[in-house]
Amino acid sequence: MIVRVLVTSVLVLAVASTTAHAADPRFPDWPCTQAKVPEISLAAVWGGPPLDDVQNKWKDDARISALVAKLAARKTPLDEAEKLVKEFLAGSAANKTANAKLLFAGLFDTLNAQRSQVMNGLERVSRKQRDAADKIREEAIQLQALQGATPRDEAKVEALSNELIWKTRIFEDRHKVVRFVCEVPTSIDQRLFALGRVIQQEME
C-alpha cells in the first residue's frame, strides 16, 4: 500500500513536470513555473551611463573586485549590501562615476554568471528527475508482476518494494529542493535591480 501511494505521487509529479515543460518548447528541461529568461537584460536593471568603456576593467581593481564578491553573495543581506555601496561611493569623491560604473559592471557580470549556474543546475536535476520517474514507473510494473506471480517470491517482492520506497522518497525530496531553488534566479534579478538603483542614486 505504501509503495502504491508513493509511486502514484511520483507519477503525478512527473506528469505535472512534463506539463510545465510543454509551456515553452524552447526550454524542454526547465522545471520551474516561472518563465525561463536565460540572461538578465542590462536595460532592465541599469539606467545609468553606458558601461561600454569599462567592460571587464572592474576585475583589475582589487577593491572593487572584493566588494563585488561581497555584494553578490546571497549570504550578505540586501540592506547590508546597499549600505556597503553607499559607503564605498561616498568615499570615491572625484572618481565616483567611474567607480560606480565599474562596481555595477562587476555586479552585472557576477550575478548573471551566478544565475546561469543555478539555471543550468536546475535543468540537470530536471533531466535526472525525468529519468528517475521512468525507472520508478518501470520498477512499479515489475513489482506488480512479482506480486501477481504464482508462486510468489516474497523476498524479491520485499526487496523491490523497499527499493521503490527509497527511490520515490529521493525523487520527492529533489522535487521539493527544485521548487525552492526555482526562486533563486528571481531573487538574483531583484538583488541586481536594487543594487543598481542604489548605485545610480549615489551617482546623482
Q: Could you give the 3-state DSSP secondary structure of residue 79?
A: helix
Supply the pTM of this predicted model: 0.82
Grid coordinates 535591480 are at which residue? 193
pLDDT tens digits along 170-182: 999 999 999 999 9
Mean pLDDT, to the nearest integer, of 80-105? 90
> Comparing C-alpha atoms, which of 161, 175, 162, 182 is closest to residue 132?
175
pLDDT at 24: 75
Q: Specify the higher pLDDT residue, 91 or 140.
A: 140
The pLDDT value recorded for residue 93 is 67
Instruction: Give CA–CA dist 10/175, Å, rounded.
Output: 10
Average pLDDT, the chain: 88
**Per-residue pLDDT at 123 exceeds 90:** yes
SS3 40: coil
Which long-range contacts link 28-35 to residues 24+ away (Cβ below 8 Å)?
Answer: 29/123, 29/126, 29/127, 30/119, 30/122, 30/123, 30/126, 31/122, 31/123, 31/125, 31/126, 31/129, 31/178, 31/182, 32/122, 32/178, 32/182, 33/182, 34/182, 34/185, 34/186
Top-confidence residue, 197 or 19: 197
Please state the domain extents for the chain: 2-21+50-203
